[in-house]
Amino acid sequence: MLQTVGEWIWWDRLWLPGNLSWSALEDKEGRVYAKVSHLYASLPCALCLLVVRYLFERYFATPLANFWGIRDKIRLPAEQNPILEKYFCSQTRVPSQADVWSLCKKTGWPERRVQVWFRRRRNQERPGLRKRFSEASWRCAFYLFAFFGGILALYDKPWVYNLREVWAGFPKQSLLPSQYWYYMLEMGFYLSLVFSLTFDVKRKVSVQTCKVTMNILNGHSSDFPHKKNPLVCFFYREHNLA
């Protein structure tokens, strides 16, 4: 079963042009082709970047925040109340009006006091300005590094100045070390962001942004299905949507 699934996933016609097979893309004649096993390096890259990020935020971003006078907003702590704390942690952070009345009866507090407690308790969970600054500083530093690193990796390549060179010798094009490590670092960076989702600042994305992104992706896939991901092409071909 697994072998059948693997053969279907790596079916030549799914990924390669009709006149090409995987055997033609084996390393020979000094050419090195991209392989799935090359992606394994993204995991250690991600772990290393997590360590670099910790050191960067601790020894660079935090002192920089102090130098620029960036301080967390002073927030009044919520009063100690085991009943409200249990409800906050196990039920919801924003109780309904009926729940507020019920909690008032259990605690003996007036309605206004319960509402203030929940507002202050929610504020305690929000990340401070310094944490946001440290996280944004790390991303800014990496993006700058990736931008200038990409320029250094490409400035002497002929296809940067003549797009016809992109297709020279296609598909028998060797994988350059600079390309490989650039994309491994990029992939490792985004993989490290996946690992840090649980403690990163949670950002809200508007519904309009999601709709625009999906429309752009759908537009590109429907207008140029033969130039996109092979799985998308297969879907369009099977459903006669191309």
| Lowest-confidence region among 11-20, 123-132, 147-156 | 11-20
Per the CB < 8 A criterion, the answer to whether 93 and 170 are in contact is: no
Question: Where does 91-176 have alpha helices with state H?
Answer: 97-107, 111-125, 129-154
Q: b/e for 3-17, b at 16 or more Cβ within 10 A?
A: eeeeeeeeeeeebee
Terminal-to-terminal C-alpha distance of the chain:
31
Mean pLDDT, rounded, for 166-194: 88
Which residue in 126, 21, 6 sits closest to 78, CA to CA? 126
Q: Amino acid letter at 204?
A: K
Q: How confident is the model at residue 3 (pLDDT cuts 50, 70, 90)?
A: confident
Segment of 8-22, 44-58, 173-187 carrying the highest mean pLDDT: 44-58
Model confidence, pTM: 0.71
Cβ distance 25 to 33 under 8 Å?
yes
Domains parsed from the chain with CATH numbers: 36-67+129-203 (no CATH), 82-125 (1.10.10.60), 204-242 (no CATH)
